[in-house]
Structure 1
Amino acid sequence: MTNNFHMGTNYLLKVITGKWKVSIICALGLKDYRYLELLKYENDVNHTKISKKVLTEQLNQLEEDGIVTKKSYGTIPPKVVYSLTPIGQELSKHLINLNFLGENLAQVNQANISFDINAQQVKNLHKEEQDKN
């Protein structure tokens, strides 16, 4: 059976829908992370804490959808590193721009909204990481 979507954007929104998925994609756009490093990073930049269960679920969903890849090293203790696939890297760049658009829309709508991390901070983090490489 074929799933029908009105537009490609509708499919994309299905893939990235989830409280933490956008944040996970943006974090992995900075660098590859081991699981606990990613959990710590997410909990440091967000006011609400992400649980291990939810992080695991959302990483697995992103992996199934071809956005994230997981590499196991077969060592003891186990070492697993999460990174973005090429399409995930492209998506991360677009999500950074959408952060700005979302903040502008909130301002236009005069919405009483606060953000854990603003778009400029995200962009600066990505620039700093690129400058390191």
Structure 2
Amino acid sequence: MTLSHRDETTCEGVSRILSRVGDKWTVLVVEFLSDGPMRFNELRRLIGNISQKMLTTTLRGLERDGLVTRTVYPTVPPRVDYDLTPLGRELLVPVKALALWARENIDRINAARARFDLTGR
């Protein structure tokens, strides 16, 4: 079965979107922003082990994709808030479901990993 040009473009587009929304940093940022707007350093502190560069890159990508807004307030120093757009709020449904699934199954997954590692593979 051959794919038409339209099908290839659709697959590529879907692949790029899934790469963005399936990224671990994206999932965490979206989940934390579900509580409302946050400043960069708030997000960084809550996420914990993310570098400044990675958080900047993630937020820019989410802004580019229309999932996050960046609002700059003219204060000294400038205040910048990040918030989910309506499209970003729609993304919360699968993100929260995935996070819940991970929390509910972490013990089973860790046990499976331990069994696999014992086999030396």
TM-score normalised to the size of structure 1? 0.67
Q: Look up the SS of the partner of 1:75 in the other structure.
A: coil
Structure 1 residue 35: Cα displacement: 0.8
Aligned ranges 1:39-78 → 2 under 5 Å: 39-43=44-48, 49-78=49-78
Note the C-alpha offset of 1:52. Answer: 0.6
| CA shift in 2, pair 1:4/1:19, >3 Å | same
Matching residue of 1:23: 28
* Aligned-partner SS, 1:5: helix
In structure 2, list runs of 5 or more residues that go unmatched. Answer: 1-5, 115-121
Greater Cα radius of gyration, structure 1 or 2: 2
Report the number of matched residues: 107
Cα shift at 1:79: 0.3
Aligned with 1:66: secondary structure?
coil
Question: CA separation in 2, counterparts of 1:20 and 1:60?
Answer: 12
Distance 1:41 1:108 in 2: 25
Q: Could you tell me how far 1:31 is from its partner in structure 2? A: 1.9
| One-letter amino acid of the structure 1 residue matched with residue 23 of structure 2 | G
Let me know the Cα RMSD of the aligned residues: 2.8
Once the two structures are TM-superposed, the CA of residue 99 in structure 1 deviates from its matched residue by: 2.1
Relative distance call for 1:19 and 1:108 in structure 2 (3 A) is: closer
Percent of aligned pairs sharing the same letter: 34
SS at 1:101 equivalent: helix
Partner of 1:112: 113
Higher helix share: 2
For residue 14 of structure 1, what is the aligned residue in structure 2? 19
Unaligned 5+ segments in structure 1 are 44-48, 114-133
2:88 is aligned to 88
Distance of 1:33 and 1:109 partners within structure 2: 32
TM-score (norm 2): 0.73
Distance of aligned partners of 1:37 and 1:100 in 2 relative to their CA distance in 1, 3 Å threshold: closer
